[in-house]
Amino acid sequence: MTWSTIAETSVMRLSPDKRKGMRTEFDYVVVGAGSAGCVLANRLSEDPTTTVALLESGGSDRKFEIKMPLGYPKLFKTEYDWNFTTGKQVGLHDRKLYWPRGRVLGGSSSLNGQIWMRGYRTDYDDWNVPGWSYDEVLPYFQRAEQRLDGSRDGTYGTTGPIYISDLRSPNPTTEAFLQACAELGWTRLEEIDGPDRDGFAPAAVTQRRGRRWSSADAYLRPALRRRNLTVLTNVSVTRVLVEGGRAVGVEYGDAHRVAVRKEIILCAGAIGSPQLLMFSGIGDPEDLNAGGIEVLHRLPGVGKNLQDHLASCVVVHCPLPVTLVAARSIHQLARFFLTRTGMLTSNLGEAMAFVRTGPDEPAPDVELLFAPAPFIDDGQTPPPGHGLTIGATVLRPESRGRIMLNGPELIIDPCYLSTETDVWRQVGALRLAMRVAATDALKSYVGKPMEPYRVADTDEELAEWIREHSQSAYHPVGTCKMGQEDYAVVDSSLRVRGVKGLRVADASVMPNIIRGHTHAPTVMIAEKAADLIKMGGRPRRPQC
Ligand SMILES: Cc1cc2nc3c(=O)[nH]c(=O)nc-3n(C[C@H](O)[C@H](O)[C@H](O)COP(=O)(O)OP(=O)(O)OC[C@H]3O[C@@H](n4cnc5c(N)ncnc54)[C@H](O)[C@@H]3O)c2cc1C
């Protein structure tokens, strides 16, 4: 455990003497400095009369592979990653899947694929939670956004702390992918979140001048000079302390405590937040008993409703030596350092298409994500040569899983492909990716299938391949569901039901996964949470 306060550019480690003199009671305690936690630390400390502590299990984000956009797969399974593994997945032939999650300032926004995408109107309207319709959350997206390179159709905000850019050096194969989508009759979009929502576009990325722009960059660094904000790194919170039905503090490490005067906000992510609630005795009594934890407050929905996107990838050899496989060269490194351009500024997922598999779908139900490189085994297997990947994802899967305890052990069970509908939709999605790979536009870049991808003919063969080789798209959500029904963990103001002074504000509160990527919605949730907290739960129009 290290107590540290971050100076503007570096983590300052305090001596035990200074530690003794540090404040141990705050108005607000935010747990987890990820996509959401950094937003709350900033917004709550805007009021100089309020004291805020931000507690993060990981350490500094001053790391080349974090700042350099293409570096993030190198962080997988390192100290910057929680390196979770799911339980055996029956729907995936008993395979256990790797789940990367950021354990560092910025959380998963420090090692994600940098795609900024809000999702669809119908996603939020379908949440069916008062105050969270698309029209009501839109101003919070816009408050966060600052579209660089011109907001082409006025979609994105232009003055917020999160920089959203075009890729500086898109790969030539990415334009070929976009032309392939056009060849199939799909629509080229100005912006993926723009008014026309079915179609394809290059990715808009959270980057500034060719570098990653995480939540820590956008929200935490600008707030660090504030004397009322204390950031503690390498502090793993073990439980929330509840007395008389009210959260009064948190405990970490060897029974160290931080007391809170007003509220604790859990921003530990879709795995960390329900886990902390359970460790604090808040959850389904059956689950708590299995973990040997005394039941303090019965809340059966904690850890349930787990959802994720599953990706099945068409991976092919590329006969031309133009893909990101060439990124590991002195030439590309020099380009990055000297001009902040070149292959190292790629986010990997350079373009995407959102398409409907049938006319009855209220919005696109499949995403095809294009990477100008082979992405095999979560990027952990070195590719045998140049290649391309088209990842196919069903955007609104039916399967629901859970997070639970088995003694001290955490079990993650997303229950992938646990419904027949999900299996055949995934087959349909993969067939679309195969159609794109077979277009004339991509012809000169597409060679033979690259192992373990293999072309299959029948739907049954494809389903079999999907079970053998699909991987997570890294979007777990839903484990502290927001809503009003029995299984809801938080109410529409993100307050933990039945416990005073405790909220959850991160990806875990989404009632249903959105059709898109989950960083932008998480930032939006945190922006709205800050307003709800400041207004004592009463909604108001956000100031953008
Ligand atoms: C490899 C990868 C690629 C992705 N690509 C994209 C993408 O391109 N676009 C997109 O929109 N989304 C992407 N995502 C998903 C997106 O990044 C996440 O949905 C989002 O960051 C979740 O935010 P969060 O605040 O809920 O959790 P996180 O950002 O994960 O933050 C949780 C924080 O809490 C800390 N924490 C946890 N437990 C404790 C504890 N007990 N005590 C103290 N601290 C604790 C963690 O260390 C972490 O810093 C990707 C995710 C990954 C992993």
SS3 state at 202: strand
Over the stretch 103-137, which tens digit does the pLDDT of each residue have?
999 999 999 999 999 999 999 999 999 999 999 99
pLDDT tens, 57-102?
A: 999 999 999 999 999 999 999 999 999 999 999 999 999 999 999 9
Structure tokens that stand for 122 in this block: 């119908």
Q: CA–CA separation, 218 vs 162, rounded Å? A: 5
Between CA 474 and CA 477 the distance in angstroms is 10
Q: Which residue has the tokens 């003055």?
A: 159
Give the amino acid at 340.
R
Q: Is 102 in the pocket of ligand 1 (CB under 6 A)?
A: yes
Q: Is 475 a catalytic residue?
A: yes
pLDDT of residue 473: 98
CB 372 within 8 A of CB 346: yes
Catalytic residue among 297, 475, 517, 519: 475
How confident is the model at residue 429, as a pLDDT? 97
Residue 452 to residues 191, 312, 392, 393, Cα–Cα distance (Å): 33, 11, 15, 18
pTM score, whole prediction:
0.96
Low-confidence residues of the chain, pLDDT below 70?
1-22, 150-151, 537-544
Question: 191 — phi, psi (to 5°)?
Answer: -135, 145
Q: Can you state the angle between helices 459-469 and 420-437, rounded to 10 degrees?
A: 100
Query: What's CA 194's distance to the chain center, in Å?
Result: 21
Dihedral over Cα of 195, 198, 203, 206: its sign: positive
Q: What's the alpha-carbon Rg for the chain, to the nearest Å?
A: 22
* Ligand 1 atom closest to Cα of residue 252: 42
For a pocket test of ligand 1, which of 54, 57, 108 has the largest count of ligand atoms closer than 8 A to its C-beta?
A: 108
From the CB of 274, is ligand 1 less than 6 Å away?
no
Closest-CA residue to 327 (of 317, 335, 338, 316):
335
Q: Give the burial class of 375: count Cβ atoms within 10 A of its Cβ; 0-12 exposed, 13-18 middle, 19 or more buried.
A: buried
Q: Is the distance from CB of 201 to CB of 190 less than 8 angstroms?
A: yes
pLDDT value at position 197?
Answer: 81
pLDDT at res. 14: 32
